[in-house]
Copies of this chain bind each other. A is one copy, B any other.
Amino acid sequence: MATPQLTKNQTLVMDALSHSEGPMSAYTILDKLRDHGFRAPLQVYRALDKLLEYGLVHRLESLNAFVACSCPHDHEHDHGVTAFTICEGCGQVTEFHDEAIEQRLSTLTRAQNFKTEKTTIEIRGHCQSCV
């Protein structure tokens, strides 16, 4: 999906996430954007919905939080299965993609006749610096 021009609110949320060190909850984003006129959770959630749809942002299910996509590409194509390592120590999140895992999951779901729509892979633990 080609990414359309972002609206004002979408841009504000995207910028907040892009400039953040790590993932942010919707309410943290809301607080960051109060100075820019944000007043209600829905302003954030609506923007996030679109940014997720465009593939510019990922949701971390195990954190109830959101993170800017770290892929260098232009998001003009689907980037397949996304996986994350999440450090419990410093909060660092690393996005990665692996063709072998994607293939294997595809084989397994095909065997169940299961039609995959979204795959969540999140690995919680400690990074190199936080052992």
- Taking Cβ atoms with an 8 Å cutoff, the residues of A that contact B are 61-62, 83, 85, 87-88, 94, 96, 98, 100-101, 104-105, 108-109, 112-128, 131
A29 to B94, CA, bound (A): 35
Q: Which of these, B87, B114, B126, contacts A85 with CB under 8 Å?
A: B114
Contact of A61 among B62, B87, B88 (CB under 8 A): B62
Task: Kindly report how many copies of this chain are found in the complex they form together.
Answer: 2
Contacting pair A116 B121 (CB below 8 A) = no
B62, B113, B119, B131: the one within 8 Å of A115 (CB): B131
Q: Are B61 and A120 in contact (CB under 8 A)?
A: yes
Contact (Cβ within 8 A) B128 A124? no
Of the A-B pairs whose beta carbons lie under 8 Å apart in the complex, a sample of 27, sorted by A's number, is: A61-B61, A61-B62, A85-B116, A88-B117, A98-B104, A98-B108, A101-B105, A104-B104, A109-B123, A112-B127, A113-B127, A114-B125, A114-B126, A114-B127, A114-B128, A115-B127, A115-B131, A116-B124, A116-B125, A117-B124, A117-B125, A118-B123, A119-B122, A119-B123, A120-B120, A120-B123, A120-B124
